[in-house]
Structure 1
């Protein structure tokens, strides 16, 4: 479980306001202003408008709050420079570090500053004075990542009608000013996580605003009224975003608020973009899935289950025509489209073995236009090395010389081709560039198969496959497979081999309870796992424990700017249809929190692959220092290496400079406009015109 860490911010009650820095700050401000005032002979009435570089300065004390904001900047593609306060060799924060002059124009090197708290360098230090002067001179905003409520940040002490203590389960509200400003994408209350009643997960200070303080997020307090947890403090020619609760990058309350923190910090103009993604792949469509045995605690058909032969076993789980009808109706009512990851040959085999008819296939094919479809190979074979199942776990078979035996290129290519052709013959629209192999086979599978099948890349090329799914729990990063690239998918913890809620709870107990409680004990020996305090009631455990936990996990991916799809299996749409409660919970929680201007984005596999590919190229360009971006007045200029598109977020009303005239920039999302973009024809840079009204 992730905890927000230390309750007390790294500051002291006396660290408030400018203290003894005012005289030093005035001297530094004068020095900075000297770079803005024109030289002798220039018109004193028209000083040059400063250039503000689109990058953020992060001053890091090693705490969870700064780490969380840094993670948000990194994941969304916002350039930043980190200064580690614990590094004895770090640069000194002075006027030269913060600003200079470029082509006769004063330049602010950072558009915003993130500090651990309001006085990270000490209230009387020269570095704090330099930062204060810089922010005043160029109008640079500052985020105080985590501090306490006191007059130095524009708040009353918590003893004056405020609150301090654990916030677990608290419901905070975005104020009217917050909804009109940086948090305009939020609609409902922001609820603080309370995943374990025995652990304090969040701690905070809520203070009543003083003059100059505008609350953006607050909670009710005893005695009536409300006290602030996030607000803007305008004072002495500066603006600070004051956050008075602890958090880490994984907690839902931070994930919900992180976009707004960045929007406030950058004044809505920054490199990088953020979306909330949620796609769900349903694997093995048309195929049966093996069923968990609640007596033997294994899955008949699996090689590690007594009598297993690799087939679906007795009494397999397969959707019916009624399940398909329900899926189509659910999609319509939920406003959400599933990706059907299909095995056409498995359907043909089922039809042959069951009197030549298959009502399920007939229903799904009749409703084919209501779904998206992805090739899952014709009969779902293992496409890696030839498996030797004489041992548990299996191992790769070898020939007489000790060389690994591999599934051939022609066999892999045939599986891909035949499944694609089957879909085309049925009138199903399928993208040839997308592929999900059975069990992600063909790709390396540690520890038995540490490398990709050497025949896989050629077979992908033979069929025009550009995007092949991988398991995010094994390979979270995109990588090349010949000319194709992987698309990592999140496995949902709704098992492939269960059709009922009771079966799901029973297998969950086997995995997550101790040997003393009748479980496998895996949770005891695996350091990445945690045992349940007691086995779940198989009659109620799925609804009361597994559904909310799995929905919470999925939603944490959704609000983390993570485009990777989630995957389940057709068995989860059959019998008790156990997937739907999880999806309903995710959709309800999401739509209860976010405004209509921030809809879920449900990309296809190819679009996820493209997004990850663009991000990797952008990150490489940033790391190499190959990106230049700045704002001068209402004009934004971005230069990136040839072939690298740039993610840019700007306010509504922004227009892009075209060869002749301007055009509307980007697409609307979360109350802003954003897009991956490049220079127009005959232009060497991206030029955007911000709205001036």
Structure 2
């Protein structure tokens, strides 16, 4: 189920019982009324409990996606499958709590049982849940909520189908504290999600985090006299919606009080294939249906083109968010040899400015590797490594290769030669079956050579054979005018393609992106197709986030992916005594990321510490939180 829909109030809506809402003004999100707890110093597992009504909720995949990109352990409990099953022992054992946060797919967990809309939890189960939250100091998050007084809202004053009328919402002052990574000067627009409009209660117990221009609270935190805190959103979500993606980190960070297993970074890793050789280009007069290799025209970038790219990249680095942006040049060394291309203004300029880029082998002369024998495969690898040495490429490692046409991944001859010559990281194509990420940010160990890790790489519609706007527009419309029902302009194509790229970034996706050397042609002396596309991508990114963008080398990226996969498969568990200590254990060896844990040497990203705890198999460590 992917279409957003209205919520239905259940006939057995949960009642807060004798609880009355606090009238103590709450000015800080962390401020909670003092409550005597039977567990003043509980032990709480670092795991999130996601409670769904029937498992068909549109927002459930969005919740899972958010947690999986972070690497935060979670359990999904589908309440309707086990009626009356949420007993106290499912949540805790004495003062040992099993979950550090509770996520509800919808506020009342309403679903249609074939006769009526009912809550998937009984009143007793709700009471068990609320008692657990109050006793352990565990927060609750309702991902999609019909606004009622129980969540801190006045009665709804309207409903909006934002697929027709998008709804901008702005951070409040309190919201800025909860979402420091968002650009507070810009609105976050809710689109393609059913939305309820309601004013917040004025009892002092409700803190709006986002509101619209009429003062309706769309995201709010409500505090109860028993000390519980619940954050709720009055709009729907799915994994593809931008508002859902950009809010998700702040939601999980709030839910966990800023201390959780996992980590978040923003990546941009453009890889440009075929550097030093030429590619066919699609001229604007090329008839639709022409084979792409039979256009009769080629292009190889010049020194002037590369200088324009260097100037552009330097300009991007002047922005703190993209200060580390570095393009990766996947090169074919044959094109840099004497007399391969005459005149050759590219190789001298590339050599003089080689430290401005990362360099990755793309084989010596771009031979397809699917059917090569061992000797020829070895030659393709070693000759290009020699060219890297000859050119003095300092940001180069023999561990990496981008194979031509993403070939050779099932050729044992090539794979053995690759391993024997030091290659440990290859790329795959996410658009091909079996080569996409098996889970967020995970790679694929090659089945024929398991010591080689394949890094899934995103293709896109900036085609390999276009070097100027009119070429791209012509070929794009040959392929997609039927889909859109008309021809698109250059700006429209940029808008659509940049939206894919910025969405990857906002999710925290680390897969590299595939481009080709004709895309670096300075078609007007200054701009390139790639710079136009990335400019718009970064412009869109800056509308949402202020976080610095990471552009790692391919081997650094590969090591990150390997560490991530090892962590996800290591059976890592953790528990904390709030304000005192955290204990982390692993069944297998792993480098465990813990956001919010400030140890010696911890990374600071987005204002938060991230510690990486290296554990051997079966090891457990306890670290102080103060």
| Distance across 2 between alignment mates of 1:641 and 1:591 | 40
Contact preservation (8 Å) 2:300, 2:518: yes
TM-score w.r.t. the length of structure 2 is 0.86
| Counterpart residue number, 2:594 | 648
Contact preservation (8 Å) 1:552, 1:586: yes
3-state SS in 1 of match to 2:431:
coil
| Distance across 2 between alignment mates of 1:253 and 1:612 | 27
| Counterpart residue number, 2:114 | none
Deviation of 1:17 (Å): 5.1
Gaps of 5+ in 1: 23-34, 38-46, 195-200, 303-307, 386-406, 444-451, 515-530, 656-662
| Distance across 1 between alignment mates of 2:625 and 2:177 | 19
Contact preservation (8 Å) 2:589, 2:615: no
| Counterpart residue number, 1:341 | 330
Q: 2:252 aligns with which of 262, 265, 270?
A: 262
Deviation of 1:512 (Å): 1.4
Deviation of 1:10 (Å): 4.4
| Counterpart residue number, 1:690 | 625
| Counterpart residue number, 1:243 | 233
Structure with bigger RCO (C-alpha 8 Å, 6+ apart): 2
Deviation of 1:16 (Å): 6.5
Structure 2 residue 42 is matched with structure 1 residue 50:
yes
| Counterpart residue number, 1:501 | 469
Q: 2:490 aligns with which of 523, 542, 551?
A: 542
| Distance across 2 between alignment mates of 1:11 and 1:367 | 64
Matches within 5 A, 1:61-140: 61=53, 62-87=56-81, 89=82, 92-101=85-94, 106-120=95-109, 121=119, 125-140=123-138
Q: 1:389-437 CA distances to partner (integer Å, 9 max, x unpaired)? A: xxxxxxxxxxxxxxxxxx1112111111111111111111211101111
Distance 1:215-1:353 versus aligned 2 partners, 3 A rule: closer
3-state SS in 1 of match to 2:235:
coil
| Counterpart residue number, 1:297 | 288
Contact preservation (8 Å) 1:678, 1:686: no
| Counterpart residue number, 1:425 | 390
Q: CA RMSD in A?
A: 2.6
Q: 1:181 aligns with which of 165, 178, 191?
A: 178
| Distance across 1 between alignment mates of 2:341 and 2:89 | 78
| Counterpart residue number, 1:442 | 408
Q: 1:266-305 CA distances to partner (integer Å, 9 max, x unpaired)? A: 1111111111111100111111111125433255673xxx
Number of equivalenced pairs: 573
Distance 1:123-1:567 versus aligned 2 partners, 3 A rule: closer
Deviation of 1:118 (Å): 2.9
Contact preservation (8 Å) 1:16, 1:152: no
Matches within 5 A, 1:250-649: 250-292=240-282, 294-298=285-289, 302=293, 308=294, 314-335=296-317, 336-348=325-337, 351-354=339-342, 357-385=343-371, 407-429=372-394, 430-443=396-409, 452-474=410-432, 475-477=435-437, 478-481=443-446, 482=449, 483-514=451-482, 531-536=483-488, 541-543=489-491, 545-576=492-523, 577-595=528-546, 598-622=547-571, 627-649=573-595
Distance 1:36-1:264 versus aligned 2 partners, 3 A rule: closer
Deviation of 1:7 (Å): 2.8
Distance 1:131-1:21 versus aligned 2 partners, 3 A rule: farther
| Distance across 2 between alignment mates of 1:65 and 1:189 | 24
| Counterpart residue number, 1:674 | 610
Contact preservation (8 Å) 2:79, 2:121: no
3-state SS in 1 of match to 2:107:
coil
Q: 1:51-78 CA distances to partner (integer Å, 9 max, x unpaired)? A: 0110111111321223311221122111
| Distance across 2 between alignment mates of 1:115 and 1:470 | 37
3-state SS in 2 of match to 1:64:
coil
| Distance across 1 between alignment mates of 2:341 and 2:262 | 54
| Counterpart residue number, 1:234 | 223
| Distance across 1 between alignment mates of 2:621 and 2:552 | 26
| Counterpart residue number, 2:142 | 144
Gaps of 5+ in 2: 21-35, 110-118, 318-324, 438-442
| Distance across 2 between alignment mates of 1:640 and 1:573 | 46
| Distance across 2 between alignment mates of 1:480 and 1:76 | 21
Deviation of 1:186 (Å): 4.2
| Distance across 1 between alignment mates of 2:611 and 2:625 | 15
3-state SS in 1 of match to 2:595:
strand
Deviation of 1:202 (Å): 2.2
Distance 1:612-1:10 versus aligned 2 partners, 3 A rule: farther
| Distance across 2 between alignment mates of 1:290 and 1:675 | 48
| Distance across 1 between alignment mates of 2:198 and 2:11 | 14
Contact preservation (8 Å) 2:188, 2:544: no
Distance 1:75-1:480 versus aligned 2 partners, 3 A rule: same
3-state SS in 2 of match to 1:513:
helix
Deviation of 1:668 (Å): 1.0
TM-score w.r.t. the length of structure 1 is 0.78
